[in-house]
Structure 1
Amino acid sequence: MTACGVCPIQAAQLVTPPQSPDSKHQEINSKSDKTDSATTDVEITTTIPTNSEEKARAAVQSAFKHSNRELTIRFKVKAIVGFGANGVILAAIDSLSMSNVAIKIIYKTKSQINQQQPPKEIASLVSLNEKCRSKLILRAHCAWQDWFHFYLVTNLFGSNWATSNMLEPITFKTQSSKTMLFHSFPFSTGASDLWAWSAMYRSAANSALLSSRLPSHVVKHIAHSCFTAVSEIHESGFYHGDIKLENILVQKTHDDTKLSIMIADFGQTERVEHRIMHYGTVEMSAPEFLPDSPFNNAGVIEAAWIDGRGTDVFALGMMLFLLLSETGVLPAVVSDGGRGYHELFAANNGKFPFYDDEIADFEEIALGLVDGMCRVDPAERFTLQEALKHEWFN
């Protein structure tokens, strides 16, 4: 147990919530103390921010108020490097290890005030880290919670691929031991993922070369790294459950053709033996999730079951399609919607029905890999071991 109350996390361990918003929160431990009954009478907030930026700014100030020891003693916050629908990410230095870390502030819902267990995003990552030591997968260092938020500390990874995503700095003050502390941090919308990198590269290439196509050799390196990372997740007995460009962090290296990647966002991750009911992002969902799919209707086929590993492979195939295509948009059959499993299966002899103009400029070998990963029938779909051995990578 450290001086500021932040402990390494183990599966299904997190601090219990405080008795009131002003109470000091407790340590992460396996014994959950009973919370005072007055907890249920405390209002979470009286002002609801009108947009995600306002919500993020309010969350940072609340974090420094209710987790002041952690954010001023153990961790030295340097900047706000991103925010989204469910939280804010801070860049900081861990004063114990002197390493760069990311602190994710995860918003609590009202129903989570008395939650004893960590949210799925934290618990799944911790469980995965215990089984898989891959350098291509984000690692959880520690976690805690206060009245308003959960906090997850991981390694800091990713480069800023946008030059215009800086907002007004956030400036505020807090009271600590009768001392007034003033805080001012750079504030960014965040642009360290594969979507941001591809958008930046396409924009620059279009301006210089009048083509927005990504270079094949770079895409090949990124794809191989992503396939390897997800394969290691599968071999550890888990599926990711939400593979998409936004969940792949990308970092510069000395060689522009060999960018480093890391898989992030494990809110949908689960053990393989647990049935996956839906994919994290609908647009990346495999056909077996469609209502008329024989794999998604236990009333038609008893014990119908969808393998999360196969759905990850499909999503990776769609991701590869996005990276190889000149437009960088999903196939029209995905965006148009309305097709059922059996119609998709019949449209192109079991291959996912890409339109001719969408794949006209694809290398034949690369198209063979995409086709194999995006087969409508999951039984006919490549495994990641087969994908990694594909001739396109040789």
Structure 2
Amino acid sequence: MKFRVLHISDLHLGSQIKGIDRNKYCRDSLLKAFNIIKEKNLDAMLVAGDFFENDKIYREDIEFLNELFESVSPKPVVIAPGNHDLLGLNCAYNDNFLDILKLKKWPENVKIFKKPEFAFFQIDENVNLYGKPCLDRETKAFNETVNLNPSKINIAILHASRVDFKTENKEIWHPFDTEDVLKSNFDYIALGHYHSYSEISDDTIVKSAYSGSMVPTSISEYGQRGGLIVEISKESNKTTTITEFVELSKFSIEKIEITPDQPVEWIKNIISAKTKSRNPDDTLFIVKIKGMGYLNLMHLKDILSEYNILFDTSEFTKIDIEKLKETSLETTIGAFIHEMLRLIDNADEKEMEILEDALLYGLDAFAQKQIIPKFYDED
């Protein structure tokens, strides 16, 4: 027997990144996810929490989702609420709240875990989907023994913190450790909460995985974002699991580290290569400048204005010209500095760039550092 699902989590529908129409990208991502369900004839969608932001629930989002959920019916969409879509009075999973907003209840194929202990939905005679909501920070995810039928495919869905593998600056909710997963008899556990992909495997198969955020939720979430197609097969009580990452978000954030002595054309080529197969408007670049030197940031912004860029100068130190002027003319290095500054003051823009770099090379040479020349294109 075989069961194939799309495992997603941490969409955070309603949250925003300044300057980015994140809601548009969330909708595009959802459309792609549901098209994958239909095109690949998957058996279910598993949502491991933080689908919504409880304080940012909008009527149009509920209506949009209702249409998508109905479009794959009767295939189940199974949700384990997280800490951002925490079960409560003003949550999208509360029928009374939907009534107040005069919105339709979720379709019959949408299954939501609401009990504090493990419950299950029987999908068919071969598959049980287990789960429970994330209710607080302290309650352990695996605080009870679950009696499973080993002849069935048993899948769990949880929004929880893997406390012995904390790779992100995330608050701990619904904690567990790796041994909890390895000791469980679930054939696969779909996890949410951490926004980067990671997995837990024993010596033979993937036992559990975080699919990561579907769409970046902050400027620190770099690279591709999406979900996992998971195929769970079971024969004679032996499980085989195959996972495949699928990119769902058109929008991505890319980080590039540069130094002040690297040519602008080199930077442009790096950015161009990263947007070769996608619309440049769908990528936000975080350009981190490291080291010491001269840098005309406004000039750099103008040259790269066709791209969406944020500059990070937290590890950049600009050479203080006034400090250099204090160097004594009685020394060789002082005479060199003052002569270079005189030439820079009288140079045009192109010559100024070359002379500033020459000053830096000279200072490096006096310090017996390796000189890495910078090459200039002919006008």
Structure with greater strand share of residues: 2
Q: State the TM-score, normalized to the length of structure 2.
A: 0.26
Structure with greater Cα Rg: 2
